[in-house]
A = this chain, B = another copy of it.
């Protein structure tokens, strides 16, 4: 393994373990064991669990930015892009039912620990919020774009929390359907507005 890939392996393993069993519950040696490298090599890359957490958050931020850019490219209309967000609940339903949302559960845990990396972790939520706000603006909801972004973000968080507690796949699917219906009503509004704008006034 090259230096770079060893570090990547550590961060990747830590990311998984923090998600699956929580940050506090994951020990430095849990991570070393998962990566199967010597303690010496491990310490060469990271001196503390907090350092690994920082790297995990940076990695997640980079991955999230990339995913949002991809959704931007994939969806020609803003509502299609918001649907990409909603559908993570369906795509990731198996891990969500087992471990909850990776963003929500990390932010909640770091808040309780009053951890110094809390602000960086919340930045993950801010990425989604800012991106969703942009989509709602493009959907013609300039005034309440941020409120709508926060609403759909909260909705998805609530679905993840209850899906995790009740292990209920039908519940996820039903809520995703309702989120899409809710979104369609804004799409219809936007279509009406566009239509009204393009029509000559009587």
Contacts and interface: CB of A to CB of B under 8 A. Distances in A.
Interface string A84-128: 000000000000001110001101110111100000001001000
Given A22-B113, A99-B111, A162 B171 contact: no
A112 B99 contact: yes
A119 B15 CA distance: 26
A178 interface: yes
A166 interface: yes
A168 B113 CA distance: 19
Q: How many copies does the complex hold?
A: 2
Contacts of A20: 112
Interface stretch (A50-58, A62-70, A150-158, A188-196): A150-158
Contacts of A175: 150-151, 154
B154 A158 contact: yes
Contacts of A166: 122, 125, 150
| Most B CB within 10 A of own CB, among A154, A161, A174 | A161
A159 to B, nearest CB: 5
Interface in A5-34: 20-22, 24-25
Nearest to A155: B158
8 contacts: A21-B112, A24-B25, A105-B108, A108-B164, A122-B166, A150-B166, A150-B175, A157-B157
